Amino acid sequence: MHMDVEQCLRAVQAKDSRFDGWFYTAVVTTGIYCRPSCPAVPPKPKNIRFHPTAASAQAAGFRACKRCRPDACPGSPEWDQRSDLVARAIRLIADGVVDREGVPGLSQRLGYSRRQLERLLFAELGAGPLGLARAQRAQTARLLVETTGLPLGDVALAAGFGSVRQFNDTVRDVFATTPGDLRARVRQQLPPARGTITVRLPFRQPFFPDNLFGHLVATAVPGVEEWRDGAYRRSLRLPHGSGIVALSPRPEYVHCTLQLQDMRDLSVAIARCRRLLDLDADPEAVDALLTEDPALAPLVAKAPGRRVPRTVDEPEMALRAVLGQQVSTAAARTLAARLVTSLGDEIDDAAGGLTHLFPTPEALALVDPALLAMPQSRKDTVLRLARALADGDIDLDPGVDRAVARAQLVALRGIGPWTVEAIAMRALGDPDAFVPTDLGVVKLAAAVGLPRGAGLVTHAERWRPWRAYAVQHLWALGNHPVNQLPGGTP
């Protein structure tokens, strides 16, 4: 995108927010970089340089604009759509792998040498793994400085910096100010409580939250998820401890309140919440393609900006998909709730009814099969999947090659095409995942004049690479709680 200078210039001159996150605008005369929709007067074209990432602009010596805050815009939708090495690396960096395991750990997960990985990232993104992780740490640091009362030394450690000096230097380089000055600009009293932070999660318009939150709440596992006071709440298993998040839709953003045992998990928790709600999607591109199909055009016009509900925990979603095979939503919730009560780690939620974390594959793999109250065939499949996940025979982390993950799932006895595609859609975040044999999809597709069976698969080729979004529109034709915003009008 950033190589198409004419298109980028038009976006900057129009202050088009649709391109926020796709590229960044660096101004050589001021030394700052902005998002395309920055409200400032557009600079002269000869003074503009375009960068693919904030990290690239920072590496070139530019600092973040204090007016438009380019570090806080939605991420590029490319990284969800693509499944190549660069996209997989970006997803893992967002999940905090570099901070926890370093660049060698990232390279090992991706199966490439460190030198080759750095070369590919520099060639496309203008920054290597360390630069990309540094940009993420800078954004986390600003959030903590401006929205919490944490001492600045604690902020440095929580944001992932190795030292207070490194923290101070990075904030000066990126924001052209000191951490103390950043906090001094905050006018309201900052909350003194440790472990709680409230942030706004931006997204690209349009945004249709009904089926997104409706699905999460209708399929919620008691004790792990709930709808309370206008927010979807759930427990989180994070690298350094547990957490609780409350997410509620607003017209311009999603309101997010996080309670964390360890503030080092902040950036990871935010990335996972964004992935859960599909907030980095490009709804205009999705809707434009689906509208070309006369059968879907009225559905898209009625609810533009639908998102695909995903997950904050890939193994959890895979296990829940198997539990949900050939049973109702209510039955799947009951089965999952039993596992949670018997195997999940307990948490304390003074503000609501969350009681547990969802069990890990390791815990489930060691359970006595006699304790699982479900049909024998499904019991065997659940245990096989749990063992495969625990042993690493199946890998579903954000940086996995989706084709490889599909092949690993298919090879596991008891997991069929429907389950594989459901996992691809919600756990792997594949925007082109498709479930043509789903009974709801078959029935509702017929209701709008679409063919069945092989004919539907052939017809759906025109929806690529957004077939997962087409499924959301088809499901929305049914009268089911998953399609309704909790507390809203059916």
Annotated catalytic sites, by residue? 34, 438
Phi, psi of 392 (to 5 degrees): 85, 10
- How many CA atoms lie less than 13 Å away from 120 in the CB half-sphere? 15
**Rounded CA gap, 394 and 383, in Å?**
13
- 359 CB contacts (<8 Å, ≥6 apart)? 339, 340, 343, 344, 345
CB atoms within 10 A of CB 69: 16
Q: Which of 482, 460, 480 has its CA nearest to residue 471?
A: 460
Q: Which of 382, 474, 378, 389 has its CA nearest to residue 435?
A: 474
**Rounded CA gap, 282 and 307, in Å?**
10
Here the tokens at position 375 are 């049909």
**Rounded CA gap, 375 and 380, in Å?**
9
Single-letter code of the amino acid located at 68: C
- Find the DSSP H helices in 360-438: 361-365, 376-391, 402-410, 417-426
**Rounded CA gap, 23 and 57, in Å?**
10
Single-letter code of the amino acid located at 256: C
CA angle 295, 454, 434 (to 5 degrees): 65
**Rounded CA gap, 457 and 442, in Å?**
11
User: Is the peptide bond preceding residue 70 cis, with omega within 30 degrees of 0?
Assistant: no
The widest CA-to-CA distance across the chain, in whole angstroms, is: 72
**Rounded CA gap, 395 and 91, in Å?**
14
* Terminal Cα distance for the chain, rounded: 40
Q: Which residue has the tokens 């597709």?
A: 445
